[in-house]
Amino acid sequence: MVYLRNKKYFPQDASSILSLSRKTLQEDKIIIRDVRIANHFLELDISIASFSELEKIKSQLSMIAPVIEIDRIVEKDIDKEESIKLARELFNNEKYWKTHEVLEGTWKHTRGNEKELLNGIILVAAALVHYQKGEQVICISILKRALNKLNNSRGKYFGINIDSLKNEITNIIGSTKVSKFRI
């Protein structure tokens, strides 16, 4: 994952940034799967054959915006409490795709209502990934599925206020206007 500083782009600019970044790196045969736009960064989902290409990528992408972070995404097996703490931090920093990835590892090892609850939180993160790509209708559709998964849960879950989360989702669905929030 490559993060560029965002000073002027909005989620609806995601497809044009994706085209521009692909064009910028086309000669290097680097795969750019997706672009997501957060308040303070552009998140580019990139695959490279070798880490030796990183400096070249950083140099070329800096023509779009300054590179602020590169994060190699590798599935890790971490304990539940650490996973959820990390996921909250990522979510609150608008790294929704990585939130989804971190929680998915924990979700695989749960059962029953807890599995439903985690699936609901994962769906919220997935919905906001679509928002960052300018896909508001898809975002709201996924939020409806998330709310259904969260239906039987209440109170706090490892510091996440589930009632507040459900209220945020309900408000977004009711207004059809996506707004970012913290968990």
pLDDT at position 89 = 98
Domains of the chain: 2-70 (3.30.70), 80-175 (1.10.3450.10)
| 41 φ/ψ angles, rounded to the nearest 5 degrees | -155, 160
Q: At residue 176, does pLDDT exceed 90?
A: yes
What tokens appear for 62 in the block? 């800096």
Rounded to two decimals, what is the model's pTM? 0.93
Instruction: Name the average pLDDT for the chain.
Output: 94
The predicted structure's pLDDT at residue 47:
86
Nearest alpha carbon to residue 90 among 124, 64, 63, 115? 124
Q: What is the pLDDT of residues 40-98, one digit of tens each?
A: 999 999 988 777 778 888 989 999 999 999 988 777 778 999 999 999 999 999 999 99
Stated as kind and residue range, the H or E segment containing 43 is strand 41-47
Q: pLDDT digits over 84-136, tens only?
A: 999 999 999 999 999 999 999 899 999 999 999 999 999 999 999 999 999 99
Q: What is the DSSP string of 120-176?
A: HHHHHHHHHHHHHTT-HHHHHHHHHHHHHHHTT--SEETTEEHHHHHHHHHHHHHHT
Q: What is the predicted pLDDT for the residue at 125?
A: 98
Report whether pLDDT(30) > 90. Answer: no
Mean of pLDDT values over 3-12? 96
